Amino acid sequence: MAAVAAEAGVAKATAARTLGNYGAVSPEARARVLEAAARLRYRPNSLARSMTTGVTHTIGVVVADIGNPFFAGVLRGIADACDATDYTVIVMSADESIAKESSAIGVLMDKQVDGIVLASAAWRPDQTAHIQEAMSREIPIVLVDRIVPGLELDAVVIDNRQSARDAVRRFVAVGHRRIAFVWGPSAPERPLERERLLSVTDTWLWSSAERLRGYFDALDEAGIVFDPLLVSNCRLNEAATVDSVRAMLALPDPPTAVLTTETTATVGVLRATRDSRFAYPGDISVIGFDDSSWASVMEPPLTMIAQPMRELGRVAAELAFARIGGDRGDAAVETLPATFNSRASVTAPRPQVSLSDDDGR
Amino acid sequence: MAAVAAEAGVAKATAARTLGNYGAVSPEARARVLEAAARLRYRPNSLARSMTTGVTHTIGVVVADIGNPFFAGVLRGIADACDATDYTVIVMSADESIAKESSAIGVLMDKQVDGIVLASAAWRPDQTAHIQEAMSREIPIVLVDRIVPGLELDAVVIDNRQSARDAVRRFVAVGHRRIAFVWGPSAPERPLERERLLSVTDTWLWSSAERLRGYFDALDEAGIVFDPLLVSNCRLNEAATVDSVRAMLALPDPPTAVLTTETTATVGVLRATRDSRFAYPGDISVIGFDDSSWASVMEPPLTMIAQPMRELGRVAAELAFARIGGDRGDAAVETLPATFNSRASVTAPRPQVSLSDDDGR
């Protein structure tokens, strides 16, 4: 700005008033400043400006995994809300790592975002120092997809427990009793008995734990005794899922239905089903989180639980805008409904599943 | 830092030396400063620091569509490279809009990134003012996935033309002559004759135009006369694709094979095939860009062209680091090979496809 003032032959204050659009400037001085600014390719430094005004009109988003289509949908919703309000979004991925998440929050504070939308990998209080640091600086933070226990923050989530319960009820309604849950928590020991499983899930991502609780709810109300062999404890990737599900299908009493909690889990179950020469859906019914366009062109098309990804993002951004605008009300959790896209992957179990020939591969 | 110095009862220069890790400070003063910094929750302001050093150790990425799994893979590769060099990445999505891309570049310049990796929506010189502005400020820019004609910039791409040509050759090799191309350029007029089509593609995304040129290459070398009815000119979404492909399948001489250029195009083709009661792959062979885990659990699994997404991102980031490090060599285009994942979606065409009963749906 000093260079523009010198080029225009006016005082710095005059250049500042002209370029900042405030105060009185003579038409002639104004024209000289604008010409000089154009000649010098002047670009207002929004950081310097934000140091004065304290507002950057930018929100930061930290997602757990930028490669997950679920978060791509959430980001789309955040972008929609920002487009409508003239905010810009900058996005960082934490790859499900607390250390990277902490670093990302630090960068966003340095870049002076006005607010942060966060899908956190944290699940216990001693992992939240970075979040509390941002809170102590009064940077509005809204959680999305995942509640972090112990933090008084706005959050936008779906009712994971009820969605999982409803899915299992659909299996029960057509006669299934051997119902598997993929992905359970990764654990070196296995199988995990119910009590141990629930204590593991206390230290687990809120959304995943809620889905497992919904599975238990539906088993309990149907009087089905929980079989720990039907919850996967594998690592959360496709290859490990295939191995884990193949082991379930090799049981003397294999599952006839599977609830999957992620797209990769669904793909792993379908591959294991084929590898084990089980028929889909004749031998194995499937319902999964989250819906995708592929699921609807599978043969037969998959019944899926569709999370309102875009809506989750939009509402989270709007809560952040309200906080940036000065809303000091109590932290609130907004729960959005998921929807079932019923297709053709749930059939009644065969009267007797008997595979004397377990060909393994 | 001034507050820390006051709290510690030392000179500002002493606090600066301690917190900036330079120069000599007595052990006692150092301890007092560090204690005061902890008490006051001192956090180095990296923006203020970068105004001094001119380096923020941040690179910005602008992707055309953050919801596209292709770009998610590219971002993963960029993140890998940044992890290895202690850079952080901030990401912005331009939603295939030049205006949003321009705004994103502006924000990244304001946030003082050291370099930018860009998948641009620009395809002609008068759309590149924002890129040239960043170039004039000597901010290193590396293009990824898409070359922008007329700009002397480093770029990392795949050989789209050869990949498309190879795919069509595979169809030709097993006897196909009626080979469709989905997605061609969106256009209100249709069908487009070859000359008109090529002139449209001159004003089209480089990567898409290259794929169409590869399709022509393979038709020409096989002596197949181009039929404009076999190139889609629909809008680039699933519903429009289904309509467009259904119209092709209703032709007296429908295609027996389809090359698809995007995941959504592939899903649209599969849905249209089913809607039209054509058998997949008996009536319609399919090869598509880009591979996904779903493609391999389709029945039968799809033959797909896998772009080295992660590698594209990694190489682009490394080129950016080299430029940030002072490399002043000529701009270079790195072309990475795509790979074919051969599965079971290509079969020989039936001797005679004859559908007297065109039932529409």
Least confident residue range of A16-30, A171-185, A227-241, B285-299: A16-30
Q: Is B242 on the interface with A (CB under 8 A)?
A: no
Task: With beta carbons less than 8 A apart as the criterion, state whether B273 and B283 touch.
Answer: yes
Alpha-helical regions (H) of A111-205 = 129-136, 160-173, 194-201
Q: Which CATH fold would you assign to the domain B2-44?
A: 434 Repressor (Amino-terminal Domain) (1.10.260)
d(CA A217, CA A177): 14
What pLDDT, on a 0 to 100 scale, did the predictor assign at position B271? Answer: 97
At residue B13, φ and ψ (nearest 5 deg) are: -60, -35
B92 forms beta bridges with B62
Q: Is B45 on the interface with A (CB under 8 A)?
A: yes
Q: Is A45 on the interface with B (CB under 8 A)?
A: yes
Task: With beta carbons less than 8 A apart as the criterion, state whether B290 and B305 touch.
Answer: yes
Q: Which two tokens stand for residue B218?
A: 């393979």
What percentage of residues in chain B have a pLDDT greater than 70?
92
A101: closest chain B residue by CA:
B88
B44: closest chain A residue by CA:
A110
d(CA A30, CA A305): 59
d(CA A351, CA A199): 36
Q: Which amino acid is at A330?
A: D
Is residue A348 scored above 70 in pLDDT?
Answer: yes
Task: With beta carbons less than 8 A apart as the criterion, state whether A234 and A244 touch.
Answer: yes
B133: closest chain A residue by CA:
A41
Average pLDDT over residues A185-200: 81
Q: Which amino acid is at A262?
A: E
Contacts of A182 by beta carbon, 8 Å cutoff, 6+ apart: A231, A232, A241, A244, A245, A258, A259, A260, A261, A265, A268, A269
Q: What is the CATH number of domain B160-302?
A: 3.40.50.2300
Is residue A232 scored above 80 in pLDDT?
Answer: yes
- Which of A121-130, A265-274, B349-358 has the highest average model confidence (pLDDT)? A265-274
A106: closest chain B residue by CA:
B43
Nearest Cβ partner of A267 from B106, B267, B294?
A: B294
Q: Is A353 on the interface with B (CB under 8 A)?
A: no
**A93 contacts on B by Cβ (under 8 Å):** 75, 79, 89, 91
Confidence tier at A44 by pLDDT (50, 70, 90): low
Is residue B360 scored above 50 in pLDDT?
Answer: no
Is residue A82 scored above 70 in pLDDT?
Answer: yes
Q: What is the 3-state secondary structure (H, E, C) of B137-159?
A: CCCCEEEECCCCCCCCCEEEEEC
**Collapsing DSSP states into helix, strand and coil, what is residue B113?**
coil
Crossing angle (nearest 10°) for helices B46-53 and A98-110 = 70
Inter-chain contact A112–B47, Cβ cutoff 8 Å? yes
Is residue B226 scored above 70 in pLDDT?
Answer: yes
pLDDT in tens, B191-214: 788 888 877 777 778 888 999 999
Q: Using the Cα atoms of residue A33, residue A34, residue A40 and residue A42 in order, give the sign of their dihedral.
A: positive
Least confident residue range of A128-142, B122-136, B180-194: B180-194
| Interface test mutation site (partner B, options A59, A65, A107, max chain B beta carbons within 10 A) | A107
Is residue A92 scored above 90 in pLDDT?
Answer: yes
A136: closest chain B residue by CA:
B41
112-171 in chain A: CB under 8 A from chain B? 112, 133, 136
- Tokens 């809204």 appear where? A142
What pLDDT, on a 0 to 100 scale, did the predictor assign at position A285? Answer: 98
Q: What's the CATH architecture for B55-152+309-339?
A: 3-Layer(aba) Sandwich (3.40)
Q: Is B79 on the interface with A (CB under 8 A)?
A: yes
C-alpha gyration radius of chain B: 26
The answer to whether B2-44 and B160-302 have equal CATH topology is no
- Tokens 């216990």 appear where? A124
- Which of A22-26, B12-16, B235-239 has the highest average model confidence (pLDDT)? B235-239
- Which of A30-34, A348-352, B285-289 has the highest average model confidence (pLDDT)? B285-289
> Looking at per-residue confidence, does B204 or B54 come out higher?
B204
Q: Is B58 on the interface with A (CB under 8 A)?
A: yes
B60: closest chain A residue by CA:
A90
Nearest Cβ partner of B91 from A90, A106, A238?
A: A90
What pLDDT, on a 0 to 100 scale, did the predictor assign at position B16? Answer: 78
- Tokens 């990949």 appear where? B163
174-213 in chain A: CB under 8 A from chain B? none
Task: With beta carbons less than 8 A apart as the criterion, state whether B275 and B303 touch.
Answer: no
Is residue A354 scored above 60 in pLDDT?
Answer: no
What pLDDT, on a 0 to 100 scale, did the predictor assign at position A53? Answer: 55
Task: With beta carbons less than 8 A apart as the criterion, state whether B12 and B33 touch.
Answer: no
Confidence tier at B43 by pLDDT (50, 70, 90): low
Q: Is A103 on the interface with B (CB under 8 A)?
A: yes
**CA A216 to chain CA centroid, nearest Å:** 23
**CA B19 to chain CA centroid, nearest Å:** 41
d(CA A130, CA A116): 12
Is residue A83 scored above 80 in pLDDT?
Answer: yes
> CA B295 → CA B223, B299, B344, distances in Å?
31, 9, 10
* Strand bridging mode B141-144 / B339-341: unpaired
Contacts of B160 by beta carbon, 8 Å cutoff, 6+ apart: B207, B210, B211, B214
Least confident residue range of A114-123, A183-192, B177-186: A183-192
- Tokens 């049981």 appear where? A251
Q: Is A110 on the interface with B (CB under 8 A)?
A: yes
What pLDDT, on a 0 to 100 scale, did the predictor assign at position A281? Answer: 95
Q: Is B75 on the interface with A (CB under 8 A)?
A: yes
d(CA A66, CA B102): 22
Confidence tier at A332 by pLDDT (50, 70, 90): very high
Inter-chain contact A92–B91, Cβ cutoff 8 Å? yes
Inter-chain contact A293–B264, Cβ cutoff 8 Å? yes
Inter-chain contact A298–B297, Cβ cutoff 8 Å? yes
> Largest Cα–Cα distance of chain A, in whole Å?
94
Is residue B303 scored above 50 in pLDDT?
Answer: yes
Is residue B255 scored above 70 in pLDDT?
Answer: yes
What pLDDT, on a 0 to 100 scale, did the predictor assign at position B90? Answer: 94
pLDDT in tens, B3-22: 888 888 888 888 877 876 66
Nearest Cβ partner of A73 from B67, B91, B136?
A: B67
DSSP B328: -
d(CA A140, CA A115): 5
What pLDDT, on a 0 to 100 scale, did the predictor assign at position B36? Answer: 84
- Tokens 């659009």 appear where? A21
What pLDDT, on a 0 to 100 scale, did the predictor assign at position B83? Answer: 87
Average pLDDT over residues B101-117: 93
d(CA B146, CA B289): 15
Our CA-based measurement puts residue B270 at a distance from the nearest CA of chain A, in whole angstroms, of 7
Cis bond upstream, residue B300 (ω within 30): yes
Please, what's the b/e burial string for A211-246 (b: 16 or more CB within 10 A of its CB; e: otherwise)?
A: bbbbbbbbbeeeebebbebbbbbbebebebbbebbb
Is residue A168 scored above 50 in pLDDT?
Answer: yes
d(CA A309, CA A312): 5
Inter-chain contact B267–A293, Cβ cutoff 8 Å? yes
Our CA-based measurement puts residue B217 at a distance from the nearest CA of chain A, in whole angstroms, of 31
Confidence tier at B275 by pLDDT (50, 70, 90): very high
Our CA-based measurement puts residue B13 at a distance from the nearest CA of chain A, in whole angstroms, of 22
Q: Provide the residue ranges of all domains of chain A, joining segments of one domain with +.
A: 2-44, 56-152+309-337, 160-302
Average pLDDT over residues B76-102: 91
DSSP A191: S
A148, A153, A158, A159: CA torsion to nearest 10: 70
d(CA A316, CA A318): 5
What is the overall mean pLDDT for chain B? 89
Inter-chain contact B47–A110, Cβ cutoff 8 Å? yes
What pLDDT, on a 0 to 100 scale, did the predictor assign at position B31? Answer: 84
Least confident residue range of A198-212, B149-163, B285-299, B309-323: A198-212
Task: With beta carbons less than 8 A apart as the criterion, state whether A157 and A147 touch.
Answer: yes
What pLDDT, on a 0 to 100 scale, did the predictor assign at position B21? Answer: 65
Residue B150 C-beta-side C-alpha neighbours within 13 Å? 13
Confidence tier at A120 by pLDDT (50, 70, 90): very high
What pLDDT, on a 0 to 100 scale, did the predictor assign at position A360? Answer: 42
Nearest Cβ partner of B72 from A67, A271, A296?
A: A67
CA nearest to A124, candidates A178, A202, A188? A202
What percentage of residues in chain B have a pLDDT greater than 90?
65
| Residue length of chain B | 361
Task: With beta carbons less than 8 A apart as the criterion, state whether B33 and B5 touch.
Answer: yes
* Strand bridging mode B88-93 / B58-63: parallel
> CA B168 → CA A49, B19, B191, B244, distances in Å?
55, 62, 21, 20
Element (DSSP H or E) covering residue A155: strand A154-158
Our CA-based measurement puts residue A239 at a distance from the nearest CA of chain B, in whole angstroms, of 11
CA nearest to B297, candidates A269, A237, A293? A269
Confidence tier at A352 by pLDDT (50, 70, 90): low
A72: closest chain B residue by CA:
B67
Q: Is B46 on the interface with A (CB under 8 A)?
A: yes
Q: Is A97 on the interface with B (CB under 8 A)?
A: no
Q: Using the Cα atoms of residue B277, residue B279, residue B284 and residue B289 in order, give the sign of their dihedral.
A: positive
Confidence tier at A38 by pLDDT (50, 70, 90): confident
- Tokens 């005082």 appear where? A11
Inter-chain contact B73–A67, Cβ cutoff 8 Å? yes
From first CA to last CA, the distance across chain A in angstroms is: 72
Is residue B187 scored above 90 in pLDDT?
Answer: no
> CA B19 → CA A137, B30, B50, B87, B105, distances in Å?
20, 9, 15, 21, 32
Q: Is B67 on the interface with A (CB under 8 A)?
A: yes
Q: Is B292 on the interface with A (CB under 8 A)?
A: yes
Nearest Cβ partner of A88 from B47, B103, B238?
A: B103
What pLDDT, on a 0 to 100 scale, did the predictor assign at position B309? Answer: 94
Is residue B355 scored above 70 in pLDDT?
Answer: no
Nearest Cβ partner of A297 from B73, B107, B271?
A: B271
Q: Which two tokens stand for residue A88?
A: 């810009």
DSSP B13: H
Confidence tier at A186 by pLDDT (50, 70, 90): confident
Is residue B354 scored above 70 in pLDDT?
Answer: no
Q: For the purposes of burial, counting CB atoms within 10 Å of the CB of A121, is it exposed (0-12), middle (13-18) or buried (19 or more)?
A: buried
pLDDT in tens, B143-169: 999 999 889 999 999 999 999 999 999
What pLDDT, on a 0 to 100 scale, did the predictor assign at position B170? Answer: 98
Task: With beta carbons less than 8 A apart as the criterion, state whether B42 and B48 touch.
Answer: no
Task: With beta carbons less than 8 A apart as the criterion, state whether B307 and B46 touch.
Answer: no
Is residue B66 scored above 60 in pLDDT?
Answer: yes
What percentage of residues in chain A have a pLDDT greater than 90?
65
**A91 contacts on B by Cβ (under 8 Å):** 66, 90-93
Nearest Cβ partner of A75 from B93, B292, B294?
A: B93
**B68 contacts on A by Cβ (under 8 Å):** 72
Whether CATH 3.30.70.100 fits A56-152+309-337: no
